Amino acid sequence: MPDVFGGGGDPVANRKLSEVVVDTLAEFHAVKPEDADLADLGRPEGFLERQVTGWARRWDAAKHEDNPLADELSRWLVDTMPLSPRASLLHNDWRLDN
């Protein structure tokens, strides 16, 4: 814990700070991109599908020995993939001093 936030020695202060951080990130995540004039940011449609199929492709390309369990998991992830949720904002480098 940075000194500016008490150095970590006070469990009550640590808990309060942790709750403020989580609440703030949750509030940020709840902002609709279009409400912040960010509707054209990124490529949110199909994000989950691109991620999961990319993981499966990289696994297939990188494996150097048989691993039936990993193959089964890869197939399961692709086969049971839910629809992508609505786009949301995400702070990609959060920490107490950022």
Separation of alpha carbons 71 and 63, rounded Å: 10
The pair phi, psi for residue 25, each rounded to 5°, is -65, -40
In this predicted structure, what is the pLDDT of residue 63? 93
* pLDDT band with cut points at 50, 70 and 90 for residue 7: confident
70: Cα separation from own chain's centroid? 22
Half-sphere CA count of 89, side-chain side, radius 13 A? 19
Q: What region does 70 belong to: left with phi over 0, alpha with psi -120 to 50, or beta?
A: alpha
How many other β-carbons are positioned within 10 Å of the β-carbon of residue 22? Answer: 10
pLDDT (tens digit, 9 = 90+) per residue, 27-81? 999 999 999 999 888 888 888 999 999 999 999 999 999 999 999 999 999 999 9
Q: d(Cα 96, Cα 13) in Å, to the nearest integer?
A: 14
Say if CB 35 and CB 71 are below 8 A apart. no
pTM of structure = 0.60
